[in-house]
Copies of this chain bind each other. A is one copy, B any other.
């Protein structure tokens, strides 16, 4: 039975991925912030000590509160450097992905079109996208696929916190609605279930035609 580890699996997109993987009889370890907090490197190291191999890894975590650049403090930078970048690096250094496995990164479409309010998120998620791209070529040698899913506005608690009037906001979107976490869950499940391996080293905007950059 294939084994999966889902980070940030207690709600939102992580939870949806966890549920959809369970539906195809994968042995899913769903973690919440209590189990492993990627903003806390001690927590990360403790976690990887007891969980050092898997077939499927879902790198997923929440993002920072909106904050204008001028008000971001050194400790803000440090915290999210850990949470969005360094924690994931340590995890990839320490958790062995089995041959023919998968790593899914849940990032944001803001790495291509950065947002002033979420500048911390754009910066560190982009940094990790670089690492993930480079590593996809190494993992490929063991037939491990690395897929960076870059969601746009998804119907999660976090989106509701970030946006005042969701209904008004939805009218501005090409599909007139937020994406559902289950769509991303189904997508991940479908890749795994169909043993699609050649999809790797790729950043996939998942944003209902909302972004403007051509590629």
Do A204 and B199 touch (CB < 8 A)?
yes
Do B202 and A140 touch (CB < 8 A)?
no
Q: Does A5 contact B (CB under 8 A)?
A: no
Contact partner of A202 (CB less than 8 A), chosen from B137, B175, B201, B204, is B204
CA distance A130 to B193 in the complex (A): 32
Which B residue's beta carbon lies closest to that of A93? B70
* Residues of B with C-beta under 8 A to A189: 194
Chain A residues within 8 Å of chain B by Cβ, number: 78
The B-contacting residues of A in range 174-204, CB under 8 angstroms, are 174-176, 179-180, 183-184, 186-187, 189-191, 193-204
Interface residue ranges, A against B (CB under 8 Å): 41, 69-70, 72, 74, 77, 81, 85-86, 89-90, 92-93, 111-116, 119, 122-124, 126-131, 133-141, 143, 146, 152, 154, 173-176, 179-180, 183-184, 186-187, 189-191, 193-215
